């Protein structure tokens, strides 16, 4: 990566202490940092500490007469390759969404056409409040990118979403935005992992998907500059740190998360979604009754996410499905592509002898309107890179 410069805006929250580590990580990558602090941020970290780590003066006051004589806030807002707001409080996000320019930070954000990455940090109730969610939707519509927030313990003693993403995750998201790859400016949805369909509070219907291929695809698309929304079921594989991650459990939850992520430029449906769910899953553990008879379950079909998106009003330009087959792979995958209405199907043979389901390798066949294109057996990372390259060709 060529030398890049980030304008880092630090707002006032306890998570501001993480900005010190973030500066260190940026500089270790050879990325220059110009820091801006709100007055509230100074209650949590000192300008001296920030300046020492950044190797640059901290910009704090909109009314610095020397700088403002030369329209310093305009120059600052446009001199960086990327603006990172970490942490971003609920108040700062509200000001951004409504175009308020009340201090140095918000004036910079309003006076720029530079890409912006925001790392929210706030109490769980503030994050889930309808006003914050409206502001979030507005900012996303404006093209603002987000890293996090994570779910976890908070300084206030509560637990839930709203915790600022860790510095390595913010670094990865920033590096993806700084790349000049062929997919820069493209928003791509990736679904991954299995779904779990509850039978009762301790049992569920599932499959053997590890989520490894979905994670690899998200990372490969990010490496080409795409903004990736990663909707995942309860997979074993670590989540891609350069994507916006949405955790779900059931197929119906995944369908709702996918709809919320649209519109986008492309979608890759890699998740192994359960076909059925249990109607009226038990609210307490189902016990044996001593008769030897198994409990009776009524199953209902889950929503067909791939077909719904492929034929919907918010259809992405490129829709890619996956077909895990155990026999007649090409025939079944070709029929599935036509039946679902998607553009491509990535088919693979997951019969037990292949070791692909839950394994580290894949032997994919790309099914398009032009026919079948078998790929060599390779690692899932190599499969992901091959698919991402083909997608870049189709989208650019």
Give the annotated binding-site residues: 275, 285, 303-306, 322, 336, 340
CA 224 to CA 187: how far, in whole Å?
12
Residue carrying structure tokens 């709203």: 162
Spatial contact of 162 and 126, defined as CB atoms under 8 Å apart: yes
Q: Which residues are annotated as a binding site for CTP?
A: 275, 285, 303-306, 322, 336, 340
Residue carrying structure tokens 């795409």: 226
- For residue 117, what are the β-bridge partners? 84, 145
SS (H, E, C) the chain: CCCCEEEEEECCCHHHHHHHHHHHHHHHCCCEEEEEECCCHHHCCCHHHHHHHHCCCCECCCCCHHHHCCCHHHHHHHHCCEEEEEEECHHHHHHHHHCCCCCHHHHHHHCCCCCEEEEECCCHHHHHCHHHHHHHHHHHHCCCEECCCEEEECCCCCEEEEECCCHHHHHHHHHHHHCCCCCCCCEEEEEECECCEEEECCEEECCCCCCHHHHHHHHHHHHCCCEEEEEECCCCCCCCCCCEEEECCCHHHHHHHHHHHCCCCEEEECCECCCEEECCCCCCCCCCCCCCCCCCCCEEECCCHHHHHHCCCCCCCEEEEEEEECCCHHHHHHHHHHHHCCCEEEEEECCHHHCCCCCCEECEEEEECCEEEECCCEEHHHHHHHHHHHHHHHHC
| Phi, psi of 41, deg, nearest 5 | -60, -30
Would you call 264 a catalytic residue per the annotation? no
- Catalytic: which of 156, 264, 270, 342? 156
Measured in whole angstroms, the distance separating CA 339 from the mean position of its chain's CA atoms is 29
Q: Which residues participate in catalysis according to the annotation?
A: 156
């Amino acid at each position: 990566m060529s030398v890049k410069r980030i304008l880092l805006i630090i707002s006032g929250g306890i998570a501001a202490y993480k900005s010190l580590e973030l500066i260190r990580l940026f500089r270790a990558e050879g990325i220059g940092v110009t820091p801006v602090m709100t007055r509230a941020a100074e209650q949590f970290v000192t300008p001296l500490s920030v300046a020492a780590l950044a190797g640059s003066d901290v910009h704090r006051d909109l009314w610095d007469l020397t700088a403002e004589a030369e329209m310093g806030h305009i120059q600052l807002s446009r001199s960086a390759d990327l603006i990172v707001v970490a942490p971003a409080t609920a108040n700062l996000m509200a000001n951004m969404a409504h175009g308020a320019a009340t201090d140095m930070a918000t004036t910079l954000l309003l006076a720029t056409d530079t890409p912006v990455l925001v790392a929210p940090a706030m109490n769980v109730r503030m994050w889930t409040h309808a006003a914050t969610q409206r502001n979030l939707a507005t900012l996303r519509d404006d093209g603002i990118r987000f890293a996090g927030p994570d779910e976890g313990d908070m300084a206030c003693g509560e637990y839930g979403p709203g915790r600022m993403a860790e510095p390595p995750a913010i670094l990865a998201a920033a590096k993806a935005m700084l790349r000049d790859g062929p997919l820069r400016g493209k928003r791509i949805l990736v679904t991954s992992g299995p779904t779990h369909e509850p039978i009762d509070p301790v049992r569920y219907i599932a499959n053997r998907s590890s989520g490894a291929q979905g994670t690899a695809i998200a990372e490969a698309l990010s490496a080409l500059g795409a903004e990736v929304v990663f909707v995942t079921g309860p997979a074993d594989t670590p989540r891609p740190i350069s994507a916006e991650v949405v955790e779900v459990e059931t197929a119906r939850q995944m369908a709702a998360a996918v709809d919320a992520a649209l519109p986008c430029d492309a979608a890759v449906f890699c998740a192994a979604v359960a076909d059925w769910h249990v109607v009226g899953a038990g609210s307490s553990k189902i016990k044996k009754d001593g008769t030897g008879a198994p409990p009776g379950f009524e199953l209902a079909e889950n929503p067909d996410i791939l077909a719904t998106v492929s034929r919907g009003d918010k259809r992405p330009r490129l829709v890619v499905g996956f077909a895990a087959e155990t026999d007649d792979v090409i025939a079944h995958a070709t029929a599935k592509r036509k039946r679902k209405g998607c553009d491509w199907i990535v088919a693979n043979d997951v019969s037990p002898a292949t070791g692909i389901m839950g394994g580290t390798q894949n032997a994919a066949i790309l099914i398009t309107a032009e026919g079948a294109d078998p790929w060599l057996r390779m690692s899932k990372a190599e499969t992901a890179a091959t698919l991402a390259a083909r997608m870049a060709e189709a989208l650019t």
